[in-house]
Structure 1
Amino acid sequence: MQRPAPANLPPLDPASLEHSAAAADHLRAAIRAASGWLPFDHWMAEALYAPGLGYYAAGNVKLADPADAAALPAGDFVTAPQLTPLFARTLARQAADVLAQTGTSAVLEFGAGTGALAEGVLRELDALGQAHTDYLILEVSADLRAVQAKRLAPFGARVRWLDALPTSFSGCVLANEVLDAMPVSLFRWSEDAMPLERGVALGAHDEFVWEDRPASPALAAALAERMPALPGYVSEINLQAEAWIGAMGGWLERGAALLIDYGFPRSEYYHPQRAGGTLMCHLRHHAHGDPFTAPGLQDITAHVDFTAMADAAQAAGLQVLGYTSQARFLMNAGLMELLAQLDPSDAAAYARAVAPVQKLLSEAEMGELFKVLAVGRGITAPLRGFARGDRLGKL
């Protein structure tokens, strides 16, 4: 029996349906191998990263080019570097400061998407007199890696791909919309205020169903540190992202990591009114809340608890260098100066260039929802992106 899809989702072609069916069978096999119950973070990891089947490990069109109207129906979402090259150029200015301050010449990007951010950063670094900078990419998606290689070919040997985390690195780390795609654990507080872990089981007709079990001592302890027991409350905890930042404390010798994603400080993340959590899925530019729909074809994400990320950094011996909204960071880092360089005499071209910037800055769109957290080691001077409006006190 097929689980009914949420309303208003676009129809899928036969090849996509066949792929999703294969991914669903893989997930069912994983549940059976785990004695009939799979913690959601394990289920999410398989749905996103299973070789040849997971969303990020298969050849789906994930990121649409907003300049290509024909691509939009196939893609699932658009990221800031695709909206406008000014995003990457502004980020490059902050990266250049980090490289200059640490005397290093390497940028490491996690999850480089279509390569738009890398291309923009490299071009701006060249314009800023840092044409010697090397650019390293760690990308889990084979098809996106191929897209990146084609796009970044003009930069030659300056661009290299890593197959694993570095053992040591000095320079600037970039991670745009990386933390939100790391598998999260789901939990629910029972009516008698006991912490339960939410997992996935199989229903009577082999459909995916939720099943809650008592939380492990480790998960229960982590929840007790973060929020009061609220009966019926459902949310997420991203222990894998915290571990990733913790590992960074072992390999980032000198430099800063700029972590850009949508999320909140803990007081807002676990607000009593956000009782259903933040889990969200993206399929063909439609957002919905059912992760069981079209496995292997849709992205599954959760917002970021930036307090947890900052705590993980400090526990790993890293400095927390700044935290603010995307809008404030971009304005501090030089976006308005770059806008001033545009020629307003061509009104149509000027409007096309400015419109996506408004989306990046608007409080109603990406400007406030997205935040920037900087962590690092060996950074002594303040970072320009946090010169005004730093919100470290709210973490």
Structure 2
Amino acid sequence: MNQAAPKPHSLPVPETDALEHSRRLTAYLADAIGANGGWLPFDRFMELALYAPGLGYYAAGAAKFGRLAADGSDFVTAPELTPLFARTLARQIGEIFEQTGDAQVLEFGAGSGRLAADLLLALDAEGTPCGQYSIMELSGELRARQRATIEKAAPHLLDRVTWLDRLPDAFHGTMIGNEVLDAMPVRLWARRPDASAEPVWFERGVVLTPEGFAWEERRYTGPLPQALNALADLPPTQEYLTETHEAASAFVRSVAPLLARGVLLLIDYGFPAREYYHPQRAGGTLMCHYRHHAHDDPFYYPGLQDITAHVEFSGIADAGVEAGLDLLGFTSQARFLMNAGIVDLMSALDPTDPETFMPAAAAAQKLLSEAEMGELFKVIAFGRAMDEWAGLVGFVNGDRSHAL
């Protein structure tokens, strides 16, 4: 089943050098499709579009993280909005340091390095300094950007930062992944009624046509991913497009064994399974970001835009528990930040200083508002060898672990 790709409108036109970069990645993707018999499952297409060495969106030089399209970036993350995010998160990490005696952080995919820089400063200010801050980052371009960010913001703390080429055999401390899971490849599934009105599942992949990349759905006859069982009760004639998150679950299973003692904190946007696979979410969550414009065409200028999907947190929870970790908490970003003291940090600011207070208040509103990041973003925590601990401050109220 072939379907033409949707074409976005009114998106900024890339510069000449960027267009040439996209042309090279497009040729690379076309070769991959040809080598796979003319059809590439979407998760592989997404993996190459984002991570192909030297060509993929996260493997090549582009601004990516920022506040405005004018700075060349494509989207904004919480650490880029305000240091209040890191200062609040530092209170939770400092509590973990005090309980475990392991003052180490391992961050996965540190983006621009803003979170690392702000956390290092905030942990020092809280009296719970980080002894070693390790960053697992495969992109050489992003490593250089992270180093420059930390050196500018906290030059006296740069010697505590290490970039890892591979994961350690064992780690004691706090692992962090902020907006890491959403950028992991997803499989795409389409549910279509056949002539007898019985539902049939297709896997979506990518083919190459004279007009460029296009969707092709192939009927799937093997065992379906277990996550799709949540849709078994849909009306037989209802069409449905959704994702499954094998790569994100595999990531959790791969890092879980190296956590010898401590906590794994993952922050991202998404839902538990029963909200994710809801009958009304029939179009899926796949989304692309280019110059702060959101659209749904992953074929638009490959290599120049982010491709992402919301996280299905029930599967993440299952992966962590199956890998031997304890589920310590799951809640909204707003509830986590309020539990960890963001209101106290805001109250310490001087409201009579509008140049400082107003931007901080606006950023805090974006972090906490249900209409912004507060409800869509979630925080999930896993632990190992934390049996004697009463619990994490970030989940003391409003824990939703029961919803996973």
* Alpha-carbon distance between aligned partners in 2 of 1:283 and 1:388, rounded to the nearest angstrom: 36
Look up the SS of the partner of 2:302 in the other structure.
Answer: coil
Q: 2:17 aligns with which of 15, 18, 25?
A: 15
Q: 1:364 aligns with which of 371, 389, 401?
A: 371
Which position in structure 1 is the counterpart of 2:401?
392
Whichever residue aligns with residue 215 of structure 1, its letter is: Y
TM-score, normalised relative to structure 2: 0.92
Deviation for aligned residue 1:343: 1.6
Contact 1:324/1:372 (<8 A) preserved: yes
* Alpha-carbon distance between aligned partners in 2 of 1:152 and 1:159, rounded to the nearest angstrom: 9
Q: 1:79 aligns with which of 72, 77, 80?
A: 77
TM-score, normalised relative to structure 1: 0.94
* Alpha-carbon distance between aligned partners in 1 of 2:231 and 2:325, rounded to the nearest angstrom: 25
Deviation for aligned residue 1:186: 0.6
Contact 1:322/1:386 (<8 A) preserved: yes
Contact 1:189/1:229 (<8 A) preserved: no
Deviation for aligned residue 1:225: 3.8
Look up the SS of the partner of 1:76 in the other structure.
Answer: strand
* Alpha-carbon distance between aligned partners in 2 of 1:323 and 1:279, rounded to the nearest angstrom: 23
Which position in structure 2 is the counterpart of 1:100?
98
Whichever residue aligns with residue 386 of structure 1, its letter is: F
Q: Deviations over 1:71-115 (max 9, x none)?
A: 635110010001000100100110111122122121011111111
Deviation for aligned residue 1:223: 4.0
1:211 correspondence with 2:185: no
Deviation for aligned residue 1:217: 3.1
Deviation for aligned residue 1:253: 1.0
Deviation for aligned residue 1:170: 1.2
* Alpha-carbon distance between aligned partners in 2 of 1:199 and 1:4, rounded to the nearest angstrom: 15
Which position in structure 2 is the counterpart of 1:173?
175
Which position in structure 2 is the counterpart of 1:331?
338
* Alpha-carbon distance between aligned partners in 1 of 2:178 and 2:158, rounded to the nearest angstrom: 23
RMSD between superposed Cα atoms in Å:
1.7
Deviation for aligned residue 1:347: 2.5
Q: 2:362 aligns with which of 351, 355, 360?
A: 355
Which position in structure 2 is the counterpart of 1:309?
316
Deviation for aligned residue 1:13: 1.3
Deviation for aligned residue 1:222: 2.2
Unaligned runs of 5+ in 1: none
Matches within 5 A, 1:210-289: 210-215=215-220, 217-218=222-223, 220-228=224-232, 230=234, 231-289=238-296
* Alpha-carbon distance between aligned partners in 2 of 1:46 and 1:3, rounded to the nearest angstrom: 18
Deviation for aligned residue 1:195: 2.4
314-323 or 129-138: bigger deviation: 129-138
Which position in structure 2 is the counterpart of 1:193?
199
Unaligned runs of 5+ in 2: none
Which position in structure 2 is the counterpart of 1:381?
390
Deviation for aligned residue 1:26: 0.6
Contact 1:193/1:229 (<8 A) preserved: no
* Alpha-carbon distance between aligned partners in 2 of 1:304 and 1:224, rounded to the nearest angstrom: 15
Q: Deviations over 1:219-246 (max 9, x none)?
A: x142454431644211001101101111
Deviation for aligned residue 1:341: 1.3
* Alpha-carbon distance between aligned partners in 2 of 1:301 and 1:221, rounded to the nearest angstrom: 20
Q: 1:156 aligns with which of 152, 155, 158?
A: 158
Flag the 1:247–1:3 CA change in 2: closer, same or farther, 3 A: closer
Across the two proteins, how many residue pairs are aligned to each other? 388
Q: 1:292 aligns with which of 277, 290, 299?
A: 299
Flag the 1:290–1:4 CA change in 2: closer, same or farther, 3 A: closer
Deviation for aligned residue 1:8: 1.8
**Identity over aligned residues, as a percent?**
54
